Structure 1
């Protein structure tokens, strides 16, 4: 069809071919729509369309890296806002979202920056915490995943007000949408000045964070100490 319609530009051909290959997956979240907030659906749509995802998380392990037990524990920690009967469905959605950063054709390039206290202080049962740390170490080995830890020693750069995610939708990592976490959900920013501000903020956080290998060494050390303390 591309030949018949005279589409010869390699970049355009690749983008259309990728869209066709992933057509069956697009909209997978619609079967869960009745259980999800509108703002969460918007976030998933952006995430599923993205070619680059960059995320800053100062409070929890990012959702794209959470194991089911960790996800269930943090979701159940907010009973005032979440119907307990919906928890298994929300965990399943979180698992399905993670297909976006698996090593496969059409996967996004994913960079996550996590504040050091997130990996030092367990917010879940210790066994789950240990399994979660082991999981992020394994995921960080993927070619399309970059994991960095922002140390407490980075000081003021660690005082970002909330978690945020930056999304790009083309072959270059130019930020085209940002989502901000808040107590009741998330907000989407698309104004040019907002995109510029959050793109700069992420770059500053990334520069202050430990390099990927140093981040993995830190996580391995914390995991090892946790296991020794548990004996």
Structure 2
């Protein structure tokens, strides 16, 4: 069973894929249970992610469902192998919400990460001092030791990008560049850090102009994740006041994939975005 008795992101992703392939093959759960010599209840729990499928079960089911693509089969077998693995983030599990742990697990598995943030610098680009200021400004009181831990977790999340482990694209509104929400020193440091990040081959940053106000108001902050060699959206995480919601329905994924494409098209090109950030930095130094 996944740790803690609740589905992990990996076990849930695997279960969702197995259920979709079973439906496509027009095979019911009793027949799937016969294929792996198990109970129908186990098949149901496999498909909801409440139990972790063994690799042999995955192979037998994919054979029965007619899934021949070697890349897809390998991906699902890897999910079965690693569904129970403890990620680095579980060391902080006592201080982190389960939905936030899911978000981090998605990032850790992703090959493509896309972030849209209408008011702030996206989390995967935040400096420690900027992150500390933003987290501390939230509506809930956070003890100093917990705050320090949350900042440390945010830094650790960024290692995936810094090491080139995923292709990362971020779009955020110009307000986050021209209007400091934190101290001037922290804002200056943050803008410089964005320019440094933009030099990485796996990072693309674009600023959405102030003139795109209506577009900004219609699309809430979100992160999307892809897990293959193509950037097809396979999961979306949306942060809200009390937690993070993970969306996996195909219609939701298509909608957020289209939303990011719309934002990216309306945003300044990466080169123009870098010029804007440099101009703002230059103006701050002159002041």
Answer yes or no: is the 8 Å Cα contact 2:219–2:259 preserved in 1.
no
Correspondence for 1:142: 200
Answer yes or no: is the 8 Å Cα contact 1:103–1:144 preserved in 2.
no
RMSD: 2.4
CA-to-aligned-CA distance 1:109-133 (integer Å, 9 cap, x gap): 0000010001111111100100000
Q: Distance in 1 between matches of 2:234 and 2:199?
A: 27
Correspondence for 2:126: 66
Higher percent of residues as helix: 2
Q: Distance in 2 between matches of 1:155 and 1:85?
A: 38
Correspondence for 1:211: 269
Answer yes or no: is the 8 Å Cα contact 1:148–1:209 preserved in 2.
yes
Q: Distance in 2 between matches of 1:45 and 1:136?
A: 24
SS in 1 for 2:218: coil
- The structural deviation recorded for 1:15 is 7.1
Correspondence for 2:100: 40
Q: Structure 1 length normalisation: TM-score?
A: 0.86
Give unpaired runs (5+ residues) of structure 2.
1-68
Give the number of equivalent residue pairs: 215
Distance 1:178 1:81, change over 3 A: farther
Correspondence for 2:142: 82
Give unpaired runs (5+ residues) of structure 1.
1-8
Larger Rg: 2
The alignment status of 1:100 with 2:160, answered yes or no, reads yes
Higher relative contact order (CA 8 A, sep 6+): 1
Runs (4 or more) in structure 1 with deviation over 6 Å come to none
The alignment status of 1:54 with 2:111, answered yes or no, reads no
Q: Structure 2 length normalisation: TM-score?
A: 0.70
